[in-house]
Structure 1
Amino acid sequence: MTGYNAPSDSVRATVNAGRLWAGGAATAAVAALIAIVGILLGRGLFDVDVLAPKGEGVWGDADTGWYALGAAIAALVATGVVHVLIRTTPRPMRFFGWVVGLATVVAMLAPFLTDGSTGARLYTATLNLLLGIAIGSLVAGTARTATSVARPRSTPPPQYG
């Protein structure tokens, strides 16, 4: 079919796994810090009961640490997903965008399944949106820099005397 720029079967994407996973680890650290800063802002500045009742103070309870750990794990899972997609699918970044987008929507809806206050639910959903955007954009950017397209060399046409 002409006009369709499908990659040929001989074109392969190669991944610098070390670079990809180093970026994934850095993204995990950033995601954990975003979660902690978000909780501190919500509880300390906006007086919202994010993840714990008010009696737990600005740092909250053990849920604060678990939330930050969950954000870091989400970044590492996203790195694994993009690695598998690059190695196995056509247009891996398009699929990755859909996966991250839908996972972010699920994370945004999850607080509304709890019995927290409306303010806490909205704040947590917004924090989950920010985490999804950060994880998705950082992992995607790392994946783009860690991926190269390898095209086989074409053999030159035979030369006749």
Structure 2
Amino acid sequence: MAESMYEPDPQAMPTMPVASGPPVIDTSRLWGGGLATALVAALVAWVAVLVSQAVLNVDLLTPPNRGLTGASGTVLYVFSAGMGALIATLILQIMVTLTPRPLAYFGWIIGLITVAFSVLPFTVEAHVVNQVATSLSNLCVGLVILTLLPKVGYSTIRARESSPPEL
């Protein structure tokens, strides 16, 4: 009687499905969602530039104008926001492929990158109002990426077909 108390009955134990590898990713939908997120992030950056310059009369701390390309600092800033979302999509795909809880790790990585880019304007010499405006703009872009891409991940990541464990 005492032995049965310490050893579970295999017939009474529920069978737990065993994953046969990393989850399956619908990469076309993942990158479609990543492109849509990049567009939203770029638009948020553009709106931040418009609000700061037109409404608040404050310049964001953007890269200087480029001589050969003729690209303005604000165009590079908006483009960088969109590229940041595409880089985040790549990070999400890598996390899904290599880690056990990809969306948790992704959230931490993108959250910390967002904090870093929000603090970064305070590391250069500029007027405080320019630093604050740039910091808030970077925070808004980061929050867009941090809120949209995990939802894309949830909708594009599927568990592999599982099989019952061998006894």
TM-score range, shorter chain: 0.7 to 0.9
2:59 corresponds to 1:49: yes
Give the match's secondary structure for 1:150. coil
**1:151 positional shift:** 3.2
CA contact (8 A) 1:11 1:152 kept: no
2:26 corresponds to 1:16: yes
Q: Unpaired runs of 5+ in structure 1?
A: 1-5, 53-60, 156-161
Structure with the greater alpha carbon radius of gyration: 2
Classify 1:33/1:7 alpha carbon distance in 2 versus 1 (closer, same or farther; 3 Å). Answer: farther
Query: What is the CA deviation profile of residues 66-87 of structure 1, one whole-angstrom value per residue up to 9, with x for unaligned ones?
Result: 0011101100000000001001
Aligned-residue Cα RMSD (Å) equals 2.2
Partner Cα distance (2:115, 2:37) in 1: 20
Matched to 2:161, the amino acid is R
Q: How does 1:1-161 map to 2 (within 5 A)?
A: 8=18, 10=20, 12-51=22-61, 62-154=72-164
Equivalent pairs counted in the alignment come to 143
Give the match's secondary structure for 2:32. helix
Give the match's secondary structure for 2:159. strand
Q: So what's the TM-score if we normalise by structure 1?
A: 0.82
Matched to 2:89, the amino acid is T
Give me the identity figure in percent.
32
Query: What is the CA deviation profile of residues 85-123 of structure 1, one whole-angstrom value per residue up to 9, with x for unaligned ones?
Result: 001100001100110011001101111122221001011
CA contact (8 A) 1:85 1:96 kept: yes
CA contact (8 A) 1:11 1:151 kept: no
Partner Cα distance (1:82, 1:151) in 2: 21
**1:50 positional shift:** 1.6
Query: What is the CA deviation profile of residues 112-138 of structure 1, one whole-angstrom value per residue up to 9, with x for unaligned ones?
Result: 122221001011111111111101111
CA contact (8 A) 2:60 2:130 kept: yes
Q: Unpaired runs of 5+ in structure 2?
A: 1-15, 63-70
Partner Cα distance (1:7, 1:113) in 2: 51
Give the match's secondary structure for 2:149. helix
Partner Cα distance (2:42, 2:19) in 1: 40
